[in-house]
Amino acid sequence: MSMKRFTLTFNITAGDRGKTVRDFLREKDISRTALTDIKFKGGNITVNGTEVRVQRILEKGDILAVTFPEEKRSESMKGELIPLDILYEDEYLLVINKPPGMNTIPSREHSAGSLANAVAGYYEKIGLHSTVHVVTRLDRDTSGVVLIAKYRHIHHLFSRQHQEGNIVRIYEALAGGKFSRREGLIEEPIARKTDSIIEREVNPDGQYACTYFEVIKQYPAFAHVRLRPKTGRTHQIRVHLSHLGHPLLGDDLYGGTVNLIGRQALHCRSISFFHPVLQKNCEFEAPLPADMEELLEPGGT
């Protein structure tokens, strides 16, 4: 199957005439590393269909096309034909609803069966010659929306948005106990526990972490909570809710009861971001999975 190359095309306007190709592409956030790869690893840059050097001066009406080199996937990243719940797809990205119990990327304990393995298999199936660029990860037992860039450059653009706090994820959780406040901000620094590789804790020496929470509905034994993490620390929501005295149902690592659900009751409900190529705001949602939904039904608890 012939492999389609990733190409970005720009129409040069009066405001950009007189700029060099290099300066124009740097303004479009194409990195110096990417330009070097394009030059030496099989990409090309054309103006009006003719290959040019980056010193070329642009004129109004020019059509500038940048074709990126093929991306070689690591030998260790095996493609697997695992069904995917794709919420949205275009030429540049995928938005996927990840089920609970699936790693986002392979780990030492789970070297196969991850979302990344499934995406690699999907790429093979559709003839996309690229590696897997995960923009937003979720813990193995957390379900919900995951954003994946199809190309390194798109991942680079999303990384900028991530750093600036412009990729917004809203979570829903089932947290133990009765909340005394309907909403609030948890601002507590998080650090790795000294005696654990995995576990985190609130620690004054940790990194700044901030989570907004809002109780959707209080049940007798737990609350259905909406959360927006303003930072992205490992296990942030789990640690913050546990610190508040409301550990997630099923989260035995952080003190949650395991008699109602077999995994931490945490779901990434939605994601919103600015599409770096189509230049528009996007928002996607994943419905609550059955194991969480059942606990919210009358008689479910």
Could you list the active site residues? 139
Which residue do the tokens 């559709």 mark? 126
- Tokens representing 124 are 């093979």
Q: Alpha helix locations (H) across 72-145? A: 115-126
Parallel, antiparallel, or unpaired: how do β-strands 200-202 and 86-89 relate?
A: unpaired
Cα(126)–Cα(132) distance, rounded to whole angstroms? Answer: 14
Distance CA 138, CA 105 (A): 9
| CA separation for the pair 97, 148 (Å, rounded) | 11
Which of 174, 260, 267 lies closest to 217 in space, CA to CA? 174
Alpha-carbon separation of residue 281 from 217, 264, 271 (angstroms): 29, 31, 11
Separation CA 257–CA 105 (nearest Å): 27
* Sign of the four-CA dihedral 18, 20, 21, 25: negative
CA distance 85 to 96: 6
Query: What is the length of the chain?
Result: 301
Is-contact 261 292, C-beta < 8 A? yes
